Chain A
Amino acid sequence: MAALFADTFYFIALLDSSDARHPQAVAWARQKGVSFVTTEYVLVELGDAFHAPGQREEFAVFNDAVRADAKFRVLPASPGAVCGRAEPVSATPGQALATYRLHQLRGDEGTPSAGGVDGRRAFRAGGVHGFVAVTCSRRRCHGEGGCVLDGGVSFSSSRSGMARFQRQRIEDQEFIPKKFVGAELRETSGKTRILEAGCGWSESFSRGTAQVGKGVAIRLAARNA
Chain B
Amino acid sequence: MGFDALLAFQRMSNASNHVSKVKNGVVPIPPGLKLAEGADVALVPLVPLPGDPAFLKVALRLAKPRGWPKDFALNHGHYTKGQRKK
Contacts and interface: CB of A to CB of B under 8 A. Distances in A.
Interface in B28-86: 42, 44, 46, 49, 52-56, 58-60, 62-74, 76-82, 86
Given A23-B17, A69-B55, A178-B86, A16 B74 contact: no
Interface string A140-165: 00000000000000000000000000
A71 B81 contact: no
B76 A49 contact: yes
Given A14-B63, A17-B46, A58-B62, A23 B79 contact: no
Contacts of B73: 9-10, 12-13, 16, 19-22, 25
A151 B66 CA distance: 24
Q: Which of B12, B59, B79 has the most CB of A within 10 A?
A: B59
B24 interface: no
Interface in A38-96: 48-49, 55, 58, 61-62, 65-66, 68-69, 71-72
Nearest to A21: B73
Contacts of A27: 6, 8, 12, 42, 44
Contact of A24 (B12, B49, B68, B81): B12
A185 to B, nearest CB: 17
Interface residues of B, number: 42
A68 B54 contact: yes
B6 A61 contact: no
Given A19-B73, A26-B6, A122 B59 contact: no
Contact residues on A (Cβ < 8 Å of other chain), bracket = 35 or more
Contacts of A103: none
Contact of A18 (B8, B66, B79): B66
A17 B65 contact: yes
Contacts of B27: none
A26 B62 CA distance: 13
Contacts of A24: 12-13, 15, 17
A55 B17 CA distance: 27
A114 B77 CA distance: 10
Nearest to B77: A171
A13 B37 CA distance: 32
A58 B74 CA distance: 21
A62 B59 contact: yes
Contacts of B80: 48-49, 113, 116-117, 120, 122-123
A179 interface: yes
A65 B82 contact: no
Interface of A: 8-10, 12-27, 29-30, 48-49, 55, 58, 61-62, 65-66, 68-69, 71-72, 113-117, 120, 122-124, 171, 177-180
